[in-house]
Amino acid sequence: MPTIEGTGVGTPRLQKPENYRRAERGTLGQSTFRTAMGKAGGIMRRRIIIRLELTPQAKKALEETCERNGMTQVAVSSRLVEWFAVQSDMLQAAILGHYPKDLEGDIAKLILQRMAKKK
């Protein structure tokens, strides 16, 4: 527990405890950016770190997927988000469950037909 001592001018000053460690500059109250090596020729790419809220079942599924593929949770999550972002609006809506249950079969057929036409 920190103790208070006088500064000689009547203003109390907080004493640091013995196990006090100063946080690295720029890590409190700001978005944290990390730099990762890119795949092509060591190009540096900026990465933004975010938090995900998962259900226990989703966390377990993520852990199993990572273990099975020899990847980190960050790597799997990042690849999923990158993949999702480049999908069509129709496919994104289907993945997010925005279509009524009774139309899922029809929507799936329509999506597959459109994907086949693009090739």
The tens-digit pLDDT sequence of the chain (119 residues) is 444 455 454 544 555 555 545 444 444 433 444 444 445 555 667 878 888 899 999 999 999 999 999 999 999 999 999 999 999 898 999 999 999 999 989 999 999 998 898 87
Between β-strands 12-14 and 44-48, what pairing exists: parallel, antiparallel or unpaired? unpaired
Per-residue pLDDT at 48: 85
Per-residue pLDDT at 19: 54
Per-residue pLDDT at 37: 46
Per-residue pLDDT at 33: 41
Q: Which residues of 4-43 are buried (b: 16+ CB within 10 A; e: fewer)?
A: eeeeeeeeeeeeeeeeeeeeeeeeeeeeeeeeeeeeeeee
Per-residue pLDDT at 7: 47
Tokens of 10: 């009547």
From the CB of residue 102, how many other CB atoms can be counted at a distance below 10 Å? 7
